[in-house]
Amino acid sequence: MLRPSLRKSDQMRPVSMETAVNKWAEGSCLIKVGGTQVMCTATVDFSQPTWKRMQNKTGGWVSAEYCMLPRANNKRKSHESMQKDNRAVEISRLIGRALRSVIDLEKLGKHTITIDCDVLQGDGGTRCASITGGFVALALAVRWLLDQGRITENPIQSNVAAVSVGMWQGELVLDLDFEEDYEAEIDANFVMADDGRFVEIQSTGEAHPFTSTQMTEMMQIATDACKKLINLQNQILE
């Protein structure tokens, strides 16, 4: 079946990542996945979050904030409505969980790294692009801490990347764009570490329930794609 983008069912859109795109951030990455573009910046704070200090916790913290700019989509979203966007809060938490899963917070020391993921243009898969590009920004911020002598060991234990898989017009397809996502019968997002283990899976039967066989097939498609994304991350970070 011909997809709107003329891709094969297991074919991703073109992916690129550019670093050092923000003059001030300790780490930055502009990731483009087809028509989706996300600016990921990492900010280092030389202290723990307040809740950790109050509880006398050791180690650092990594958090994330996700936002779609007013004209990231085909209709403008006002800044006021952006501040009340529960979807953005949910995605922010997902990104934070994904990045914390692959970093040793004790080795990070008493530092907080905040990853801001601002969607410049949305065409499906923005949360997956944010995780994939956000990791690159995080890795660069950690490299900055090492170069500054603020920490002595690299706390990053693994890469992490994410991709969407879904069912569109009765066929399982990789990396859904907006048109496919809008009409998807099954919609799933897979977050994976570089050793093939999954960090998180979000999957919904939009039009009907799905089987364990279909889930296994989607996991395999996602695994192959995430490995390619992780290889690209490593090339960018060399």
Residue 82: pLDDT band with limits 50, 70, 90:
low
pLDDT, tens only, 96-116: 999 999 999 999 999 999 999
Whole-Å CA distances, 23 to 29, 129, 191: 11, 21, 29
Q: Evaluate if residue 59 carries a pLDDT over 90.
A: yes
Q: Evaluate if residue 81 carries a pLDDT over 90.
A: no
Residue 85: pLDDT band with limits 50, 70, 90:
confident
pLDDT score for 80? 65
Q: Average pLDDT of 31-41? A: 98
pLDDT score for 83? 67
Mean pLDDT estimate for the chain: 95
pLDDT, tens only, 66-79: 999 888 887 887 76
Distance, in Å, from the CA atom of 24 to the CA atom of 177, rounded to the nearest integer, reads 32
CATH class of this structure's domain 15-237: alpha beta
pLDDT score for 52? 93
Give Dmax over CA atoms of the chain in angstroms. 57
Beta-ladder partners of 33: 15, 36
pLDDT score for 93? 97
pLDDT, tens only, 133-184: 999 999 999 999 999 999 999 999 999 999 999 999 999 999 999 999 999 9
Percent of the chain with pLDDT over 90: 90
Residues in the chain: 238
Distance, in Å, from the CA atom of 126 to the CA atom of 68, rounded to the nearest integer, reads 9
For 158, half-sphere exposure in the C-beta direction (CA atoms, 13 angstrom radius) is 18
Contact assessment for residue 197 and residue 214, using Cβ atoms and an 8 Å cutoff: no
For 187, half-sphere exposure in the C-beta direction (CA atoms, 13 angstrom radius) is 16
Q: Evaluate if residue 208 carries a pLDDT over 90.
A: yes
Q: Is 98 exposed, middle or buried (0-12, 13-18, 19+ CB in 10 A)?
A: buried
Q: Average pLDDT of 219-238? A: 98
pLDDT score for 71? 85
Residue boundaries of the structural domains of the chain: 15-237
